[in-house]
């Protein structure tokens, strides 16, 4: 059975992952409103990934006989001044999430919770990818600068991103995807 301290920390993380999904969905809405449908698609895929992250924590708590407790979500920001500003905000947010995962791993070590530690290893790797993905887009947008044509090309490229659902049952503890 999962210990209360670990369960509480993971319930907080479900809230963080859902807040991430909400933030990226708000960015998608802003991109759609500005005619940047490719970037909106990129953010919608990111939203789906965040939901998968939340469900991994949900499954882990549940499978270890714990109690999932959902918390309130705040309304996200509605508008960003430019695509670069939005992706920079996303990058900053991912760095915050990486810090939360590190904190969870610290709690797991302190509680001698090897099951949680194994499950969290997936997230440690995932956060490297999350930060790298956003960072790549920031580099691209910096290259594009003020070029309208460049922005349209970047929009088309980012619109090619597709969501790959995890295999059935992969939300379980430590299952590699
Ligand atoms: Fe769940 O990784 Fe982004 O926030």
Residue 168: the pLDDT is 74
Position 142 confidence tier, pLDDT thresholds 50, 70, 90:
very high
- Dump pLDDT digits (tens) for 18-39: 999 999 999 999 999 999 999 9
Looking at the predicted structure, is the pLDDT value of residue 176 above 90?
no
> Could you tell me if residue 8 is inside a domain?
yes
> Could you tell me if residue 41 is inside a domain?
yes
> Could you tell me if residue 165 is inside a domain?
no
> Could you tell me if residue 176 is inside a domain?
no
Instruction: Identify the domain containing residue 84 by its residue range.
Output: 4-160
- Dump pLDDT digits (tens) for 116-141: 999 999 999 999 999 999 999 999 99
Ligand 1 midpoint to CA 41 (Å): 17
Average pLDDT, the chain: 95
- Ligand 1, atom 1, residue with closest C-alpha: 50
> Could you tell me if residue 134 is inside a domain?
yes
Looking at the predicted structure, is the pLDDT value of residue 172 above 70?
no
Residue 170: the pLDDT is 65
- What is the per-residue DSSP string for the chain? ---HHHHHHHHHHHHHHHHHHHHHHHHHHHHHHTT-HHHHHHHHHHHHHHHHHHHHHHHHHHHTT--------PPPP---SSHHHHHHHHHHHHHHHHHHHHHHHHHHHHTT-HHHHHHHHHHHHHHHHHHHHHHHHHHHHHHHTT-HHHHHHHHHHHTT----PPPTTTTSTT---
Ligand 1 midpoint to CA 93 (Å): 8
Ligand 1 midpoint to CA 72 (Å): 18
Ligand 1 midpoint to CA 90 (Å): 9
CATH of the domain at 56: 1.20.1260.10
- Ligand 1 pocket, CB under 6 A: 17, 20, 50, 53, 94, 97, 130
- Ligand 1, atom 3, residue with closest C-alpha: 94
> Could you tell me if residue 104 is inside a domain?
yes
> Could you tell me if residue 64 is inside a domain?
yes
Looking at the predicted structure, is the pLDDT value of residue 70 above 80?
yes
Number of domains, the chain:
1
Looking at the predicted structure, is the pLDDT value of residue 174 above 80?
no
> Could you tell me if residue 49 is inside a domain?
yes
Atom of ligand 1 nearest to the CA of 46: 3
Q: What is the pTM of this model?
A: 0.94
Residue 167: the pLDDT is 82
Ligand 1 midpoint to CA 145 (Å): 27
């Amino acid at each position: 059975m999962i210990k209360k301290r670990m369960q509480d920390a993971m319930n907080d993380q479900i809230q963080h992952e859902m807040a991430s999904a909400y933030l990226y969905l708000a960015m998608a809405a802003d991109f759609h409103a500005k005619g940047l449908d490719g970037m909106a698609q990129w953010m919608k895929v990111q939203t789906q990934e965040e939901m998968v992250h939340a469900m991994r924590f949900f499954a882990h708590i549940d499978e270890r006989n714990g109690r999932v407790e959902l918390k309130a979500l705040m309304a996200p920001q509605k508008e960003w001044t430019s695509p670069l500003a939005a992706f920079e905000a996303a990058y900053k947010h991912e760095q915050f999430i990486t810090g939360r995962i590190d904190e969870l791993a610290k709690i797991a070590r302190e509680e001698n919770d090897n099951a949680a530690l194994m499950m969290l290893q997936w997230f440690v790797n995932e956060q490297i990818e999350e930060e790298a993905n956003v960072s790549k887009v920031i580099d691209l947008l910096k290259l594009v600068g003020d070029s309208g044509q460049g922005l349209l090309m970047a929009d088309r490229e980012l619109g090619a991103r597709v969501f790959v659902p995890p295999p059935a049952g992969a939300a379980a503890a430590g299952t590699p995807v």
